[in-house]
Amino acid sequence: MTPAAVLTGVLVVLALLWKVRQLLDARTDRPLRAMTACLGCAAASHVLGVPVIRRWVDAHVAVGTGSLLQNLLLLVVVYLLLCFYIHSETPALDRAVSRIRWEAVPLALALILLTVTMYATPQGVRGRGYRVADLRVGQVALFYAVAGCYLVYGLGAALRWTVRYARLSRRPLSTGLWLTAGSLAGMVIACLQRLGFTAAAWRGAAVPRPLVLAAAATLGVAVPLFAVGISYPVVAMRLAACRLWWRHRRDFHRLAPLWTVLHQAFPQDALEGVEPSGGSVHRRYYRRVIECRDGLVRISPYLSCPASHPRPSSSAVAADLCGALAAYRAGAAPRSATVGVALPEAAGLDADVEQLVALADALAAGPAQLSHERGGRPNTPSPSKLRRAA
């Protein structure tokens, strides 16, 4: 097999495995079941395209059976793709089933014609691939003409649905749909080209080899692009979820210096229900952010200049915070009412966390730097202890 065929097989199998994984979590999802079956038939058709397997099938059944099964499965793939769109567009099960049954009529006719023409073909020219098939033989030409006509019909209908949904969707779904639309358009063009080549060859005209190779190359790109297109939205969302997980995990650990000193001063503010070392990364992250903000609200009356202008740097706030914590532990009276500390200039949780992380990083810089900012020696845990708290 060519490297392109191997790549196509790998992509189809990976897409199939992913859909099976999704189907296990949503077994009643009719569109998902249709797409999973579609990819399963595509994988089986690709396996039958392997010369060794096709020859083994021919040897145990009849010459041409491997090629026949491969093409039958290919038509079923297109039919199942139409079923996917019908289920997606028609919520009512009875109406969807009715439309699917009507779509099964041209499929059944095509499957019957392919089977009859294959076994009506002389054994000497039966079961050859399109590139080496003798299209001057009427049965061979009819075989490929029937398959091509159904593929153009089914792929063209799927293309119209895909383009319509792509226009109505947002990223990343729209990106995946446009990739799928591009692959379907390439398949339709290649099938139309092959229909023209078949008609010309059957009438005895010579088909330029570059045109045949161009059609094959179009299919070689379109088929793996289809697997990429239908998998792209889920893969993109998974990658985004992984990036969010990594950012929450990173910020969770970076907040450790701030959380440690505030938790030591106000242990009663710890949220219940999730242990610091348990739960998901996201829950631990949100808990740490909330506890840090609650601790800053409690310690804010002890700050020396919480509302100073211009806006103090994170190092200055960290040095002031260390002094405030020392005053709180010594039992000193508050200097002011509760005020905001390290407030973000923009709205949103991300901006708030950015300020908290900057303050935590300043605390992690160590007592020497904070003492230089304040001109004194604050009482704060060492950097090594702060890092171990993470």
Long-range contacts of residues 236-241, Cβ cutoff 8 Å, at least 24 apart: 236/171, 236/172, 236/175, 236/176, 237/172
Confidence of residue 306 (pLDDT cuts 50, 70, 90): low
CA distance 221 to 211: 15
CA distance 314 to 294: 18
Of 387 and 57, the one with more pLDDT: 57
Please tell me what DSSP assigns to residue 333: P
Of 92 and 34, the one with more pLDDT: 34
Cα 185 from chain centre: 22
Structurally, at CATH architecture level, domain 3-246 sits in Up-down Bundle (1.20)
pLDDT of residue 70: 92
Tokens of 314: 């994170």
CA distance 369 to 376: 10
pLDDT of residue 310: 61
CA distance 364 to 387: 8
pLDDT at 59 over 50: yes
CA distance 341 to 320: 11
CA distance 161 to 165: 6
Ranges for all domains in the chain classified under CATH 1.20.1070: 3-246
3-state secondary structure of 122: coil
pLDDT of residue 25: 86
pLDDT of residue 372: 45
- CB within 8 A of 48, min separation 6: which ones? 54, 57, 66, 67, 69, 70, 73
Radius of gyration of the chain (CA): 33
Ramachandran assignment for 273, one of left (phi > 0), alpha (psi -120 to 50 degrees), beta (any other): left
Tokens of 137: 């033989």
Amino acid sitting at position 75: L
The model's pLDDT over 276-305, given as tens digits with 9 standing for 90+, comes to: 455 688 999 999 999 999 988 888 888 876
First to last CA, the chain: 52
CA distance 110 to 116: 10
Average pLDDT over residues 54-80: 91
pLDDT at 187 over 50: yes
- Whether the Cβ atoms of residue 41 and residue 66 lie closer than 8 Å to each other: no
CA distance 49 to 125: 17
Of 343 and 390, the one with more pLDDT: 343
The model's pLDDT over 195-228, given as tens digits with 9 standing for 90+, comes to: 999 998 888 888 788 888 888 888 888 888 888 8
pLDDT at 36 over 80: yes
- CB within 8 A of 58, min separation 6: which ones? 64, 65, 66, 127
pLDDT of residue 386: 42
Amino acid sitting at position 36: T
